[in-house]
Amino acid sequence: MADVRKRSDPARGLTPGWNSLAVAAGAGLLVIFLAWFAGPGLFGISNETQGTTVQAEVVQPAPCAGGGASEKVKFEFGGKPVEGSLNGCGHGKGERIDVVVPDGASGDGIAVHAVDTTAGASDARRPLGLALLVFSCFAGGMYVFLVLRGPRVPVAA
């Protein structure tokens, strides 16, 4: 009985085997591993502090009951005392905390945030970017398999 399956074009002499698939899979896994350890900057996520760190004193604390709590703080910025609002709660009156004043801020009522927090660091860009990278590695591996397999030639009965 004739072999119904033809794995490759005999003129090319290429037959896909486990080793070619293993190389494609290994290369894909290496890319994913390196992307994971490259950090958030690879997918356009920046955890850098954008502003100047200053020490502030809490003037009007806010309780942590409910959402959207904002405390009034005062600090020295640009050589003059400034009042601002801190997106946070639970500090005591007169407590000193480190805050980040955004670049280009001026006047009173500046919105500041605590040094140890980062705005926007919990969005879905990194997992989505990594998922798309995994899919592209899979698609590249399938392309290598199809190229190595060659065209299918129907066998006449």
140: closest CA among 18, 7, 31? 31
- CA angle 122/126/130 to nearest 5° reads 150
- Check if the beta carbon of residue 155 is closer than 8 Å to that of residue 6: yes
Of the two residues 125 and 69, the one the predictor is more confident about is 69
Q: What is the pLDDT of residue 134?
A: 83
Q: What is the pLDDT of residue 46?
A: 60
For the chain, give the mean pLDDT: 76
**What is the rounded distance in angstroms from the CA atom of residue 14 to the CA atom of residue 136?**
24
Q: What is the pLDDT of residue 89?
A: 84
Q: What is the pLDDT of residue 96?
A: 92
**What is the rounded distance in angstroms from the CA atom of residue 115 to the CA atom of residue 99?**
5
Instruction: Say whether pLDDT at 14 is over 70.
Output: no
- The DSSP 8-state label assigned to residue 111 in this structure reads E
Q: What is the pLDDT of residue 51?
A: 80
Could you tell me which residues are beta bridge partners of residue 73? 58, 84
